[in-house]
């Protein structure tokens, strides 16, 4: 699964940093370790990465600020690590545009599974032909989406969410079904879906507060209409 994927790990705890680096390297990843946000920013600017793993509490440049900077420049997938496990902090992390959020302490096996899932989702699918559903045109090879001739700038996870919805038009989908289809999670925190739906609406809806494409079905989940009637 690794295929030599380049991972930038930004973690100020030297013990955690050494353990994660050794574990990922042993599973075929090229891991670049950074002790603070400033080093992480420089490493990404110099050579990029297939994935960033960022601790939220960092000296110098916080994990939040690093994620904001990276996300403003690139859709590269990001996994955030944090000792802040309550829902408010988890949602705050997701609002930064990260793709996954893993609370400390965590097992190396769980981290590896999250890394594999994120990278699997962000690589081109076997179907590489451009396709159109309603107002949306998708190029799976380049992982790009357009609507009415305008490209939509999406993070890796937002892209996966939109493509999943495009493959299920008019179907009422629960948050658990979306977690399984987009995150590969058999169970998880539904607020993850809520945050990503809100972020996606901000990019595809004319008025995110009154959505016409991605609507809420109260008590059931969400329903997606790629070609709503005027």
pLDDT tens digit at each of 230 positions of the chain: 567 899 999 999 999 999 999 999 999 999 999 999 999 999 999 989 999 999 998 998 999 999 999 988 888 899 999 876 666 667 777 778 888 888 888 899 889 988 988 888 766 555 568 899 999 999 988 889 999 889 999 988 899 899 999 999 999 999 989 988 888 765 567 788 898 999 999 999 999 999 999 999 998 999 999 988 76
Residue 95 has a pLDDT of 79
Residue 114 has a pLDDT of 87
Does residue 230 form part of some domain? no
Residues 87 and 12 grouped into a single domain:
yes
DSSP string, the chain: --TT-EEEEE-S-HHHHHHHHHHHHHTT-EEEEESSHHHHHHHHHHH--SEEEEESS-SSS-HHHHHHHHHHH----EEEEES--SHHHHHHHHHTT-SEEEESS--HHHHHHHHHHHHHHHSPPS--S-EEETTEEEETTTTEEEETTEEE---HHHHHHHHHHHTSTT--B-HHHHIIIII--SS--THHHHHHHHHHHHHH-SSTTS-SSEEEETTTEEEE-SS---
Residues 16 and 114 grouped into a single domain:
yes
Q: Which of 54, 87, 122 is the last residue before a domain boundary? A: 122
Residue ranges making up the domain that contains 168: 131-224
Residues 149 and 74 grouped into a single domain:
no
Q: Which of 85, 102, 122 is the last residue before a domain boundary? A: 122
Residues 138 and 99 grouped into a single domain:
no
Residues 94 and 155 grouped into a single domain:
no
């Amino acid at each position: 699964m690794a295929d030599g994927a380049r991972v930038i790990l930004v973690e100020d705890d030297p013990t955690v940093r050494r353990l994660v680096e050794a574990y990922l390297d042993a599973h075929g990843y090229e891991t670049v370790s950074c002790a603070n946000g400033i080093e992480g920013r420089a490493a990404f600017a110099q050579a990029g990465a297939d994935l960033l793993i960022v601790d939220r509490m960092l000296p110098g440049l916080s994990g939040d600020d690093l994620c904001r900077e990276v996300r403003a420049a690139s859709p590269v997938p990001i996994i955030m690590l944090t000792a802040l496990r309550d829902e408010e902090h988890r949602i705050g992390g997701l609002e930064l545009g990260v793709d996954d959020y893993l609370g400390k302490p965590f097992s190396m096996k769980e981290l590896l599974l999250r890394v594999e899932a994120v990278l699997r989702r962000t690589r081109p699918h076997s179907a590489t032909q451009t396709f159109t559903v309603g107002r949306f045109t998708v190029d799976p090879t380049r992982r790009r989406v357009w609507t009415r001739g305008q490209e939509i700038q999406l993070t890796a996870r937002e892209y996966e969410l939109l493509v999943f919805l495009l493959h299920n038009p008019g179907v009422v989908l629960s948050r658990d079904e979306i977690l399984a289809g987009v995150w590969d999670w058999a169970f998880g925190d539904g607020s993850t879906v809520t945050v990503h739906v809100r972020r996606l609406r901000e990019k595809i809806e004319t008025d995110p507060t009154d959505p016409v494409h991605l609507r809420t079905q109260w008590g059931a989940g969400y329903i997606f209409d790629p070609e709503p009637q005027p």
